Chain A
Amino acid sequence: NAGVTQTPKFQVLKTGQSMTLQCAQDMNHEYMSWYRQDPGMGLRLIHYSVGAGITDQGEVPNGYNVSRSTTEDFPLRLLSAAPSQTSVYFCASSSRLAGGQETQYFGPGTRLLVL
């Protein structure tokens, strides 16, 4: 299994540009999430999905869109990039166990710089 994969590894954008961060998992996990990691702030949840066709907002959803057309893929779209979106983005997936005790598996991350 490849686990959770993310592309690209690094991206530079200009303010106002749009782009899509790709995330895929091959573990047939129902749950997928997007986090951003900023120094001193840990990981903050952007959007998540509990299954194909179902998405919901996390703690910091503004400026980002997601969709989940398949179990495997969960792309994150930046609509109009801003310097405040400079961050490291992590995708995670987990299977659905009773009560929420499942472990999340993380991708290697995408480092985004917005100029």
Chain B
Amino acid sequence: AQSVAQPEDQVNVAEGNPLTVKCTYSVSGNPYLFWYVQYPNRGLQFLLKYITGDNLVKGSYGFEAEFNKSQTSFHLKKPSALVSDSALYFCAVREHNYGQNFVFGPGTRLSVLP
């Protein structure tokens, strides 16, 4: 069965500093991996996804994520955090050719402090 873990409920970082939001996954086959962001009282917005190829994926708003197959991780990163990045971040996985079902992690709340 597929599963996703986000080991940190909350991440605090100062504005201008680099940020990392961690995600590890478990699938029996090849994974498709996604990051979504949720701002208060809004739906989820797509940030980036890993399908195949280069392990470093670049997405919206300056975010990037690195796929590490040996560590089964897909950590979200940004070189310089903005206060406006403060939101709830979800990692999701879908197994290749598994059909419709995405599995989401529990979410990590990012707070960027001015």
Whether chains A and B associate is: yes
Query: Which A residues lie within 8 Å of B44 (CB)?
Result: 43, 90, 92, 104, 106
Cα(A109)–Cα(B95), bound, Å:
26
Which of the 9-residue segments A63-71, A77-85, A95-103 touches chain B?
A95-103
A interface with B by C-beta (< 8 Å): 4, 31, 33, 35, 40-45, 48, 50, 56, 58, 90, 92, 99-101, 103-109
Within 8 A of A (CB), among B37-61: 41-46, 49, 51
A108-B43 in contact given A45-B101, A100-B99 (Cβ < 8 Å): yes
Which of the 9-residue segments B11-19, B79-87, B103-111 touches chain A?
B103-111
Query: Which A residues lie within 8 Å of B104 (CB)?
Result: 35, 42-44
B69 at the interface (CB under 8 A from A): no
Query: Which A residues lie within 8 Å of B99 (CB)?
Result: 50, 100
Cα(A104)–Cα(B38), bound, Å:
14
Cα(A101)–Cα(B32), bound, Å:
6
Distance from B73 Cβ to chain A, minimum over Cβ atoms (Å): 17
A-B contact pairs, 16 of them (CB 8 A): A40-B106, A42-B4, A43-B44, A43-B90, A43-B104, A44-B104, A58-B101, A99-B32, A100-B95, A100-B97, A100-B98, A104-B102, A105-B46, A108-B43, A109-B42, A109-B43
Distance from A102 Cβ to chain B, minimum over Cβ atoms (Å): 9
